[in-house]
Amino acid sequence: MLKKLAFLICLLIPVSSFGATLINDTETESLLRELVLPLSRTADIPDTHLHIYIVRDDDFNAFVRGGQDVFVNTGLLTQIRTPSAFQAVVAHELGHVLGGHISQMSNRISAEATRTMLIQALGVGLMVAGGNPTLGAGIMAGSSGVAQQSMLAFTRDEERIADNMGLSLMAQSGTDVKGFITVLEQMRDISGALESKINPNRINHPLTSERLNNIKAQISQLSDYTPPSSDEMLRHTSEYERVRAKLIGYLEPASRVFEKYPYSDKSDAGLYARAIANMRSGDLDTAATGTRTLISRHPNNPYFYELLGDIEYQSGNYDASASAYEKSLSLMNKSAPQIETALALVLTARNRDGDNARAIELAKRSLLVSPAPLAYWVLARAYADQGSGLQDWAFAEYYNMLGKTNMAHDYAARAQKQLPKSAPEYLKCSDILSIKTKK
Ligand SMILES: [Zn+2]
C-alpha cells in the first residue's frame, strides 16, 4: 500500500486518489523553493535533492515523499493565508519524515507513481491543450496501478511529534513560527464544525484545537529564536499574493476570479488575476492592457513579460509575443524551461527562416532541465521539414510522456526505420520500444 502524508487530513478526511496532474510554472516553483529551502537545509536535505511538485487538486493538502519530494496541492496554495503558514505545512510534513513515520517501501512504490504523473504548463501550455486533445486530456485516471491509495492514518503521537519537529525546524531555520499558529487556526476554521461532533477519546487523531494548544505552548518556550526580517516577510508576502492570484486566474472560472479580484482592486495581485482571466475568456485587449500596467509598475519582472508573450501569441502577434518572451528570458537569472518552450512554440508558429532551428535549440534546452510533453510536441513541430525520423522520435517521446504507450511504439518504430543506428534518438527509441504496453 502506498502511504502518503497529508496535513489537514492528518485529521479524518480521506484524500482523493493520486492520479494527478502536475503543474509547471517557473514563477510558482521558484517562490515555493525559496520558501522551503531554509527548512530543507536545516533538515539536512541537499539542495539538489529537493524537488517541489505542484499538484492540480482542490484539496487543502501537501505531503513530502521520499524525504525530499515535496508535493503541494493548488488547493492549499490558493487558500492558505500566509507564506509562513505554507512553510509550517511543509515543516510539519518534514517532521513526519524526520520522525521516521514513513517506510522505505512506500518511497519506492511512489517513485513509480511520480513517473506516470502528467505535467502541464500554465499559460501557453493550457491554451495549446485546448487545440490538442491528447494534451488536454491531462488527467491520468488510475493507470498507474497505485491510484487506489488510502490515507495513511497517523497516530496522535506521530502528529504531535511531527508538529514539534516541524516547529523546531522553523525556529532553527529562522522562518516565522507564527505561521504554525496561522495554519492550525485556518484548519480549525475549516474542520471545526466536523470536529465539534467528535468525541476526542474515541479517535486516534489529535484534534486541531489540541494541536493548536500544543504549538502555542511550544512557541512560548522557544529560546534563542530570531524571526526573519520584516523586509523579507513583506517581500515573501507580496510574491505569494501574486502567485496565488496567478493560480486562481488560471485555475478558477472567470466569474470566480472577478468575484475574488473585482475591478476596484488595483493591487498587483488583482491586476494579475484579472489579466489572466481576461486572456482565458478571450478578451485579449483588456488582458494586454492590464499586463502592460503591471510591466510599467515592475519593468524588471520576467513573469509579467511571460504573460504578455502568452497574450500576444493568442492574439496572433507572433513578433510581439517572441520579443516579450525574449525579454522575459533576458530578465531571468535562472533556467526557465516553460518560457523557453513557449518561445519555441511561437517560433514554430511564425516559421520564418531560422525560426525552426532556434525552436529546436530552445526546446532541447528546456527538456534537459524539465522534460514535459509540450516541449516534445513543439520539438516535433520544429522538425516538420526534416524528413529524417527526428519528428517521429519527438512524437514517440511525447506520447510516451502521456502514457500512451501504443502510440509511442508506433512512432518509435517508424523513427528507427529512418534514423542511423548510431543516432542518440535511435537508442532513445529502443528505450521506448522496451516499455511494456498496458493492458
Ligand atoms: Zn501529519
Protein residues placing their CB within 5 Å of the ion ligand 1: 10, 162
Contact 144, 113 (CB under 8 A): yes
The mean pLDDT values, 10 residues at a time, for the chain of 439 residues are 33 38 87 96 92 86 80 91 95 86 54 57 55 36 30 71 94 96 88 59 66 94 91 96 96 95 97 96 96 98 96 94 97 90 94 95 93 90 87 94 90 96 96 83
pLDDT score recorded for residue 316? 92
- What confidence score (pLDDT) does residue 438 get? 62
DSSP 437: P
User: Can you give the pLDDT at residue 12?
Assistant: 26
Cα 375 to averaged position of ligand 1 atoms, centre (Å): 36
> Of 56, 108, 136, 145, nearest to 402 (Cα)?
136
**Beta 51-55 vs 62-65: how paired, if at all?**
unpaired
- Compute, in angstroms, the gap from residue 152 CA to the centroid of ligand 1: 10
Element (H, E) at 231: helix 230-251
Nearest C-alpha neighbor of 76 from the set 164, 187, 159, 162: 187
Distance 158 CA to ligand 1 centre (A): 7
- Cell of residue 129, nine digits: 491543450
Can you tell me whether residue 64 is helix, strand or coil?
Answer: strand
- Residue 101 C-alpha to ligand 1 middle, in angstroms? 10
In-domain check, residue 57: yes
Asked if residue 182 belongs to a domain, the reply is yes
Find the Cα–Cα–Cα–Cα dihedral 397, 401, 405, 411, rounded to 10°.
Answer: -20
- What's the length of the chain? 439
Q: Model confidence over 316-340: pLDDT tens digits?
A: 999 999 999 999 999 998 889 989 9
Domain that holds residue 62: 8-220
Alpha-carbon torsion 19, 306, 32, 7, what sign? negative
CA–CA separation, 100 and 96 (whole Å)? 6
What's the confidence (pLDDT) of residue 188? Answer: 83
CA of 145 to the centre of ligand 1 (A): 25
Count the domains in the chain.
Answer: 1
Q: Find the 255 Cα to ligand 1 centroid distance in Å.
A: 35
The alpha carbon of 67 and the centre of ligand 1 are apart by a number of angstroms equal to 14
In a domain, 431, yes or no: no
Max intra-chain CA distance, the chain: 73
Give me the pLDDT at residue 103, please: 56
3-class DSSP state of 139: coil
Ligand 1 centroid from CA 161, angstroms:
9
What is the SS3 assignment for 284-352? HHHHHHHHHHHHHHCCCCHHHHHHHHHHHHHCCCHHHHHHHHHHHHHHCCCCCHHHHHHHHHHHHHHCC
From ligand 1's centre to the CA of 167, what distance in Å?
13
Quote the ligand 1 centre to 285 CA distance (angstroms). Answer: 46
CB 309 within 8 A of CB 343: yes
Q: How many angstroms does the Cα of residue 151 sit away from the middle of ligand 1?
A: 11
Distance from residue 65's CA to the centre of ligand 1 (Å): 13
Q: Is residue 72 part of a domain?
A: yes
Å from CA of 99 to ligand 1 middle: 11
| Cβ proximity of 87 and 35 under 8 Å | yes
- The SS3 of residue 158 is helix
Residue 19 domain-assigned (yes or no): yes
113 located within any domain: yes
Residue 214 lies inside a defined structural domain of this protein: yes
Show Cβ contacts of residue 124 under 8 Å, excluding neighbours closer than 6 positions. Answer: 309, 310, 313, 341, 342, 345
The pLDDT value recorded for residue 415 is 96
- Domain assignment present for 407: no
Give distance in angstroms: CA of 276 to centre of ligand 1: 35
Distance from Cα 7 to the centre of ligand 1, integer Å: 5
Contact 83, 235 (CB under 8 A): no
Q: Which of 168, 151, 149, 167 is nearest to 204 (CA)?
A: 151
Cα(163) to ligand 1 centroid in Å equals: 8
CA 250 → CA 29, 125, 270, 293, 307, distances in Å?
Answer: 15, 11, 13, 19, 11
pTM for this structure? Answer: 0.83
